Amino acid sequence: MSKQTSTDTLMKLSLAGLVVGLAAIAWVAAFLGEFLTPTGMPWTNFTELVARFKEGTFAWPAAATWIAIVLAIMALFGIALLAASRGGAGSAAQRELGGRLATGAKLAPLMEKERKKDAKQLHPKAVDLAPGQVLGQTAAGKPAVLYQGWRDLGVCIMGPGSGKTSCLVVPRLAAAPGAALMTSNKVDGVAQVIAARHQLGTVWLWDPGKIYRQSDKPDFIFSPLWEVKGTEDAMRLASWIITASLKNNPRTESEAAEDAQFGPSGESCLAWTLLAAALTGKALGDVHEWISKGSFEKVSNILADEYPRPASEMRGFDKWPDRTRGSLVATTQRMCRDLVHDAILAWTTPTPGIRNFDTAKFMEGRQTMILLSERGPGGAGAVLTAMIKAICNAAVRKTPGEARLTIPLVGELDEVANIVPWPTLPQDFSHYGSRGLCFTLYLQGWSQGCGEWGTKGMQTLWQMSGARFVGSNEETDWTEGLSKAIGTYQRKEKDSDRKERLPKVSVQDFAELAKFSGILSSSVAPATLLRLTPWHKNKELSKTIEAGMAAAAAMAKGEPQPATDPVPEKQVAA
């Protein structure tokens, strides 16, 4: 009721203001018009004007009509100019905040001119490569677009509904100069990315959980076992499967206790079973079957010739007392519990009539990979991690002997902490930028990242990122540290000549940041306030997406993609 009342009051006040404004324009127009076309009306005597009106002798100066029109136009222009001078959208507090932070020349390293120089130096064989990935527009001073450079990794901490998908993920993927990939656990932005990129090259959509694509038949097949070439690969894949299983399937107290006792042995058991399956061209379903049956001897025999030490370890497990061996089997089963789900097996088991995903070919042209999953039983996070790592490895292999890719690989990892079990991400992240793998992580909060990688891991990700963006955030313990890092400014105290020192961005400022805005800190320039632009505000991009929505709708239904001649890497110099 209170909201309705306040709305009605606001409407009444607005209407009253409009009436008063029109009356004022009419009076001024009549007063001035009297000089040009006299009528003898006493425009400065309100009482006599009312009397004349009642008598029917009221006269309106002919020139007053045109004067009123001119005044109305001037009033509208003045209102528009005032809005522009006040920075358009945004409260006075937001405009003041922008003025306290960096503007103009201090941000030159992030602007087009300097970023173009960096792009040419980093990717000398690329022609007409964009200055970088658009971050947003400065909110104070002369408006300028700022760019995330092609060597910079990014971390964006933005809550739900803050505009990260519409303002960052979609436009950046649409503009990606080469291959591109995205992750998510929802449909937001998926259709727009497909629509924007489907004519550039093949679009691959991983969606076993039918988040966007409503078809029982997989779009393509990718088996993580294809990437297992030795013991290290097997251990990494086992780690991802175990991490995903722990997050997707909560343990009981008794299960957790048993897993703590047999965990290291269970991890080895899973890794060597994965290795055996890879050696024999088997699928993940076979891995789950061998573990469920306790087929340790079978795995040992497969590994014996090429991997004698893992084979010996499996033989040792097989000789454990029955009860202990049974506990090991149970622990290992829980570690790979996600492999029991038909949807995951369908998308990872080679099947006639369904295309296979080739990571090496993916790096050719401007193909797109969209990876969708949810946390919970049946979540495919381990396969997502394996696929991202496989793409990264293929990217590195594409340029042997060179530091970085000829054309950058763009990766927008939305909801990465929710769906991608990647324990070593902080370590891997540190060298991706130098390879031309331009990844940006999107988190809902600092605490979410700490829960996934630990405080030290999250600090590593933050420090390794060349572009760090924070939207509205109420994690006061963390934003207090950010506030101190950004610094202070001096302000004159009221009714005194003394000056007080205040934070440029307070904890309250972080909490009250408007939608489509945030604080950008970078490795090359001071912090600044940015405004973000949704993709639908970009006329050219909106037109492209609108034209491609039919293709996005067809892909949602699981219809075969029409043959598309991939756009060649025109950006590569001969």
Q: Which residues pair with 10 in a beta bridge?
A: none
Contact 345, 255 (CB under 8 A): no
Residue type present at position 556: A
Please check the confidence at residue 3 and state whether its pLDDT lies above 90: no
Q: Which range is least confidently modeled, 93-97, 151-155, 474-478?
A: 93-97
Q: What's the CA gap between 295 and 102, in Å, rounded?
A: 64
Q: What's the CA gap between 477 and 484, in Å, rounded?
A: 11
User: How confident is the model over 238-274, as pLDDT tens digits?
Assistant: 999 998 888 877 767 666 666 667 788 999 999 999 9
Three-class SS string for 212-243? Answer: CCCCCCCCCECCHHHHCCCHHHHHHHHHHHHH
Report domain 107-222+350-473+513-556's class.
alpha beta
Q: Single out the residue of 292, 298, 294, 246 nearest to residue 275, CA to CA.
A: 298
User: CB within 8 A of 162, min separation 6: which ones?
Assistant: 471, 472, 515, 516, 518
Q: What's the CA gap between 413 and 521, in Å, rounded?
A: 19
Q: Which residues pair with 147 in a beta bridge?
A: 134
Residue 216 has φ and ψ, to the nearest 5°, of: -75, -25
Q: What's the CA gap between 130 and 126, in Å, rounded?
A: 10
Residues 284-312 have a mean pLDDT of: 96
Please check the confidence at residue 52 and state whether its pLDDT lies above 50: yes
What is residue 88's predicted lDDT score, i.e. its pLDDT?
42
User: How confident is the model over 94-106, as pLDDT tens digits?
Assistant: 778 999 999 999 9
Give the number of residues written for the chain.
Answer: 574
CA distances from 159 to 151, 278, 436, 441, 474 (A): 26, 41, 28, 13, 10
User: How confident is the model over 282-297, as pLDDT tens digits?
Assistant: 999 999 999 999 999 9
β-strand 133-138 against 517-522: which pairing, if any?
A: unpaired
Q: Which residues of 208-219 are buried (b: 16+ CB within 10 A; e: fewer)?
A: bbebbbeeeebb
What is residue 71's predicted lDDT score, i.e. its pLDDT?
85
- DSSP 3-state assignment of 392? helix
Q: Single out the residue of 423, 421, 422, 440 nearest to residue 432, CA to CA.
A: 440
What is residue 81's predicted lDDT score, i.e. its pLDDT?
67
Burial class (CB in 10 A: 0-12, 13-18, 19+), 145: middle
Burial class (CB in 10 A: 0-12, 13-18, 19+), 512: middle
User: How confident is the model over 62-76, as pLDDT tens digits?
Assistant: 888 888 888 888 888
Going from N- to C-terminal start, the domains of the chain cover: 2-85, 107-222+350-473+513-556, 224-344
User: How confident is the model over 513-538, as pLDDT tens digits?
Assistant: 999 999 999 999 999 999 999 999 99
Contact 352, 554 (CB under 8 A): no
What is residue 255's predicted lDDT score, i.e. its pLDDT?
64
Q: What's the CA gap between 102 and 364, in Å, rounded?
A: 40
Residues 464-468 have a mean pLDDT of: 95
Contact 488, 503 (CB under 8 A): yes
Residues 357-383 have a mean pLDDT of: 91
Which pair of structure tokens corresponds to residue 211?
């988040």
Which pair of structure tokens corresponds to residue 120?
């040419």
Predicted TM-score (pTM) of the model is 0.82
Helix 446-464 to helix 425-432 angle, to the nearest 10 degrees? 40
Number of neighbours of residue 258 by Cβ within 10 angstroms: 18
Please check the confidence at residue 570 and state whether its pLDDT lies above 60: no
Number of neighbours of residue 346 by Cβ within 10 angstroms: 16
Residue type present at position 70: V
Q: What's the CA gap between 478 and 453, in Å, rounded?
A: 16
